[in-house]
Structure formats: C-alpha cells, structure tokens
Structure 1
C-alpha cells in the first residue's frame, strides 16, 4: 500500500513513460518552467501582434485597409489553429510533444521574421522620403515567418494551461488546491508578457528599429523553449486518450440512431462498462443520473 502511494493516481507518467512518482515530479517545481514558457511566449506573440499594422503600412508600404485586413487574417489563423492542434494533442502527440514541436516551429518563424526586418536584401529598402519599396521576395519571406508563428502559437495555446493542470493530482487535496493557484499565476504571467510587449517593445520598434523590435521577441521565444525543455524531467504527462470531439460525435451519432429506443429504468441494462474507472486513463466515469434528462412524449413514446 505504501508503495502505491508514491505514485500519482491520475494516470500521469514521467518523461520515461513510467508512472509518475509523486514527490519527484509535478507541482510547483514543474510549473515554474511552464509559467516561464508562457510569459516569454506571450511577450513574443504580443510583441508582433500589437504593432503589426504599422509595420505593414510603413515598411511593406501597404494601404491601411490592406494592412488591417492582413493582421485580422493572421490573428484569425492564430485563433483557429488551436482547434486542430488540440485534436492532435489529445489523440496522438500528447501535450508535451505538441508544445515542444510547435515551439520549435514558433522559434523558426520568429527567426525568419527578424531576418526579414534586419538583413540586407531581405528587409525593404526606403528612399530619402522614408517610403519603402519591398520586393515580392521580401514580402513572401515576411509572411512565411508570420504564418509559421501562427502555426506555432496554435500548437502552444490549447495545451499549456491544461499541461500545467496535469502537474497537480486531484486525488491529493493539497495538490488540488494548488491547481487553482496555478491558474492565477498562469494568467498573471500572460499579462506580464503582454504588458512588456505593449509598452517596451512597441517603443523599441517605433524609435530604435524593427530589427530589434522583432529580434527581442524572437529571443524571448527562444528563452521560452529553453525554459520548457529544462523542466522535462519534472513533468507529469497524460497519455493521449483520444479527442473529446471524436467521442462527442460518436455520442451524437448513437443518440440519433437510437432516438426511438426507450431508456430502461434499470441502469444495469444500459451499455456501460462494468468497472468503475473510465476507458481514458486519468478520467473519471460519470454516474448514471436522471437530473439532466429531457423528456419528450411523442406518439406515445418517451425520449431521453
């Protein structure tokens, strides 16, 4: 019994894919690396997003309407990508490898973006009136870097907060309470990164130069990657258990196929697993209840 208590009870594993030892993994010692990653990543993202319209207008010489449209398209891509990346994380890669792989893509995108604003031949040339005339190649390189960033942030955004929650075992009351504190610090780190980006970085981009203005966020993202990988030995990892979207679709299809089937009063007649644990490791099986049942009587039949 004492040997069982040294492991977490939520199905998490360590970096070797062995059951996670409670005292050696997770909790705040692992979350510090996750919070550092999130703070630097948000600084990098908002460092690009906040002043991006001005770069498109004054360096790529785009009209205001075109510049704003390009920024909204990019921002929309950043917020749509998490849907796909969350599916990959839940069904195949797991949160750790999703964050790790797309963080590297993120850094590559930031590096290309910085090169497009600082290297001769890649940055737009401007005349004596400070009007820039970018070439097609320069514009293409810039947007390649920009959309690699969208691809990267789409892999990080849906996973970091839940990966931080994985570091706390709900079966332990102390760790369960600390999970709430983690979210407080998580959103604090987001706001710190956004504050620095919206104040210091915007000033640097406007008054010092775009090479430095993009280079500092690129450096911040590199620090975020180093911070994340530094905590590898301490992380608790949930095994991929399949996407909730897939299971929701399966439930909807089964519901429509059996819409005319009456629900038996005896729950033992339902098609449920006999064991108490969920099929997905770390999840809990929901108890049978009628509290959320909706009753419709149509043609003398009762539907739930």
Structure 2
C-alpha cells in the first residue's frame, strides 16, 4: 500500500458537468469502502454461520449442512462473474450494485422471517432423541429462496464494487493501491461478521443477528448511493465475451480456409491503437485461430467495416483469445488449490462443534468464528509481505517476486495446512473415541495452526492470482479479470461439495457424527491432491511465458502486487 494513498493525490477524473465539480479519484473511496463494509457485514449475517443455522433451526444433519453451505458459497462466487458481464454489457456497474443491494436485503428479510415466524421452520428436535419434525416443502422453499436472493445480492455487489472503484482511477499504481484498501475493507468487515454477528446469533438470537445484517445492508446501500455525484460512470460497451465467441465461430466456419501469411489478408477494423499492420500480424502460435480474422469476399464492406460479424473478427480479438488459452492451464491449477480450502472451511466448523470452545469460565467461541483465524492471519500476512518480504526479496534479487512465485509459495503453504489439519484431527478423534462425554474434550485452539497456514497461503496465492490475471488478460477483459478469482472459488466450492459426496458414498470417513468417522483421512487425501496439483502447477508455470513483461519484476517503481 502506498503511504498516504487515501489522501488527495491530485488524481481524479475531471469531466464537464453542470456542477462543474471533480469526479472520480480518492474522494469516491469512502463511499465505495462504506458500501463494501456494510454489504460484507450483511453477508456475514447469513453466510458465516449458515452450517450452524441449518443444524439448529432446520434440523439438517451436519454433513448435509456443510454441503448446502458449500453450494451457497459456490453460488455467491459464481454470480460476480454474471454481475460483471451484465454491468459491462448492459446496465453499468452503478445500476447492478444498487439493484443487487436491494436483492440482498430481500434475502435477509426472508431469513429474519424464518426465525421469527414459527410456521416457516420445523420444531426443534426433542432433547436426547433422534426424532425430529421433518421440514415441509414450503419451509424449504422459503429457505432456498432466501439463500438464492442473498447469494445473488452478494454476487452482484462484491466484485462489481471493486471494478467500479478501480474505474475511478487512471494510473495503474493508484488502482493497485485502491485494491489493497478495498480488500482490507472486506477482510475487516468479514472479521466483524465472523465474530460479533455470529456471537449475537449464537448467544442472543438469530433474529437479532439477521436484523443487524439487514441494517448493515441498508446503511451500505445508503452510503453507496450518497456518493453518486462524485462517481465517474462508464457507459456499457458490450460484453467482450461476444468478441471471443466470434473467434470460435468464425474459425470453425473457415476451418477449410488456407491460412495466409500476408498481413493485408487480415481484418484490423476496430483494433484500437494499431496503426501499423506489421505490428498486428497474427502470431504463429495456435495458428488455426488466425482464420477467424482472415478476410474472404463479402466479409468486409467497401468502407472497411465488418459486414458479417460472425464470419470475421479482428486480429486483436484473435490474439486476446489466444492469451486466454495460454493462461487457462495456470488458472485451472488455482481451482484445485482452492478446493481443499472449501473442504477445510466446512470441516473445521464441524470439528469446532465437537471441541471445547471455552476461553475462560465465561466466554465460549462460536463454532463458525474459528474461520476468522484465516482472515486474521491473511490480513497480517498481507502487511508483512507488502512491507517486509517484498522489499527484502528485491534487495536480495534486484526484483520483486513475480505473481507465479507468490502463487507457488501459496501452493506449498496450503499443502502444509492440510497436513497439519490431518495430524490435529487424528489426535482429536483419538481423544473423542477414548473419552466418552465431555470428560476430556480437545481445545478448539488446536485448530488454529491449520487455519493460520491456510490464511498465510491465501495471502500469497490469491493476490498473486489477481496480479497475474490483471497483468496478463487482454485490455478488453481487465474488468472481468478481477472476477476470475471469484469464479475459481465458486468452482472450487462445488468441487469440494462433490468430493465430500464421493467420500460419503464410497467410504465411512464422514458419518453424520464426525467423531465416529475418519476425517483425518479426508485431510490426507487433500494433501495428496495438493502435492499432485503443485506438480501440475510447476509444469504450467515453467511453460508459461509472460505476455506483458512490464511490471513482472525488475521495475523499481512497480507495485509488489503487480
């Protein structure tokens, strides 16, 4: 982060308006940060404690509750990509954020209704009995509607806010500084959601927790809208994915065309900043795609404009598509890097429910709050990396660590975290299976090392991935590049759900009561997956060549995260 980056640094967009005032720049950050904080706290009210909520209020067994939580996390991570596409293509970021905030509020209203009106939830299980009143179809319908609305609302705000905030700046270094402060706001608000609100839900009442979340949602929306007169608004320019789809269609339709080596045979109309055809000659890699930009009779009008958009596209669109193909193997390694995190976040909560969570005689840690250790270690690690490790690395090597190096270290730390989790769970099961009741429960503090490893690992690989995608993605996809991490997390949560389902189907490692299972074997399985995935990552990283060398290292003025 830049020192004094929140002060006015003279960078703001100046546009003509009736007010004659300045728009954009750091003056917009308090409104963006306030909205992020409010909406993140609102999301924490339902998402952070969802497993416990389903078990206690809807009589869902523990493994099924973990699966539903993973699906909800996956949806919340998929929707940002959809929100980014809608914002870029049709309505703009401001409209998508405003509408999504209202949808999020509706979801919280439904959640509050389920714990306020007895008819919207089943009666609690009889103490000491395994007989529980089944949940009705109407009750499930209300629950899943609340989950869907809240997930859509969260998905349409979080990364769209990041894109809108970054669009308030012109200089890449200011954008990088904005992202640092932006994620700091998210982490801080997430800690509040995982501690204060979860504590209120567990000890005061669910309706109070959901109510606080609803109020935070309203405040966040109000703060965001109040900054309207300071924002720069980017007009939707159509989805860049349409251009990429045209590459696939056009190359398929021209699959029998002889590839030309003459630059004059290719279409350059609409390629911005390309005045020299020789510079824009299609690259020789993945040559079959070059057909998509090759002109044939009737493709181009006499004035040079494209007559048949789905038969020919520009050279730049072809090169953009090639760039995505080159980076996809690296991107795929991130999916299997995030999948163990999804499994761990669910299992850690189930472990905590069966452990001694007392700190002193009067305070008991809410089970869902143990995940705050990941966020805390992540935030601390980000500061240490930014202020100490990166400068030290530069002094030793003469350059900043590259995104690929940071991601690689994240892989290693993630594997270590899974190994620590396996060892701790083995010890916990040994104690649980040899001591009946609560005579000798294991302290929840034993979960901290594995969560710290995961948090430190995230501090390396998630920012490294964001830096890589933002640096390497085509200009037309810069906004979408920030949502790629969300897409990774979404796919990973669905894979973790499928993985747990497979484990339940073919093994006895994860029964409803994990004290009777072998969850340590699940962690060891994740260690093996992590090691194999790390080997795959090393191969992909070795073969990958940076498309945008500037900022990858060696430039003393470049930001550490670039």
Question: Which TM class, normalised by the smaller chain length?
Answer: 0.7 to 0.9
Total equivalences in the alignment? 274
**1:136-147 alignment to 2 at 5 Å?**
136-147=137-148
Judging changes above 3 Å, is the alpha-carbon distance between structure 1 residues 161 and 276 closer, same or farther for their aligned structure 2 residues? same
Q: Is the 8 A contact 1:103 1:156 kept in 2?
A: yes
Superposed CA deviations along residues 123-147 of structure 1, whole A, max 9, x for unmatched, are 5544774997555444432322221
Task: Tell me which of 112, 115, 136 is aligned to 2:113.
Answer: 115
Superposed CA deviations along residues 44-65 of structure 1, whole A, max 9, x for unmatched, are 2233222111111111111112
Give the whole-Å Cα distance in 2 for the aligned partners of 1:59 and 1:247: 48
Q: Could you tell me which residue of structure 1 aligns to residue 251 of structure 2?
A: 255
Task: Tell me which of 29, 40, 44 is aligned to 2:38.
Answer: 40
Residue 289 of structure 1: how far off its partner (Å): 4.1
**1:187-206 alignment to 2 at 5 Å?**
187-206=183-202
Judging changes above 3 Å, is the alpha-carbon distance between structure 1 residues 65 and 274 closer, same or farther for their aligned structure 2 residues? closer
Judging changes above 3 Å, is the alpha-carbon distance between structure 1 residues 295 and 277 closer, same or farther for their aligned structure 2 residues? closer
**1:1-304 alignment to 2 at 5 Å?**
8=13, 24-122=22-120, 124-126=122-124, 129=127, 133=133, 135-170=136-171, 176-258=172-254, 260-265=257-262, 267=263, 270-273=266-269, 276=272, 288-289=279-280, 292-294=283-285
SS of equivalent residue, structure 1 residue 212 = helix
Give the whole-Å Cα distance in 1 for the aligned partners of 2:86 and 2:269: 26
Give the whole-Å Cα distance in 1 for the aligned partners of 2:246 and 2:156: 25
Higher relative contact order (CA 8 A, sep 6+): 1
Where does the alignment leave 5 or more consecutive residues of structure 1 unmatched? 1-6, 171-175, 279-284, 298-302
Give the whole-Å Cα distance in 2 for the aligned partners of 1:248 and 1:139: 40
Would you tell me which structure has more helix in proportion to its own residues? 2
What is the TM-score with the length of structure 1 in the denominator? 0.77
Give the whole-Å Cα distance in 2 for the aligned partners of 1:227 and 1:148: 21
Give the whole-Å Cα distance in 1 for the aligned partners of 2:277 and 2:186: 33
Judging changes above 3 Å, is the alpha-carbon distance between structure 1 residues 70 and 127 closer, same or farther for their aligned structure 2 residues? closer
Judging changes above 3 Å, is the alpha-carbon distance between structure 1 residues 263 and 224 closer, same or farther for their aligned structure 2 residues? farther
Residue 19 of structure 1: how far off its partner (Å): 10
Residue 252 of structure 1: how far off its partner (Å): 2.5
Q: Mean alpha-carbon deviation: is it higher for 131-140 or for 47-56?
A: 131-140
Q: Cα RMSD (Å) of the superposition?
A: 3.4
Give the whole-Å Cα distance in 2 for the aligned partners of 1:275 and 1:153: 35
Give the whole-Å Cα distance in 2 for the aligned partners of 1:97 and 1:157: 14
Residue 290 of structure 1: how far off its partner (Å): 5.6
What is the TM-score with the length of structure 2 in the denominator? 0.44
SS of equivalent residue, structure 1 residue 25 = coil
Residue 74 of structure 1: how far off its partner (Å): 1.8
Q: Mean alpha-carbon deviation: is it higher for 141-150 or for 48-57?
A: 141-150
Residue 295 of structure 1: how far off its partner (Å): 7.2
Judging changes above 3 Å, is the alpha-carbon distance between structure 1 residues 287 and 84 closer, same or farther for their aligned structure 2 residues? farther
- Structure 1 residue ranges (4+ consecutive) displaced by more than 6 angstroms after TM superposition: 18-21
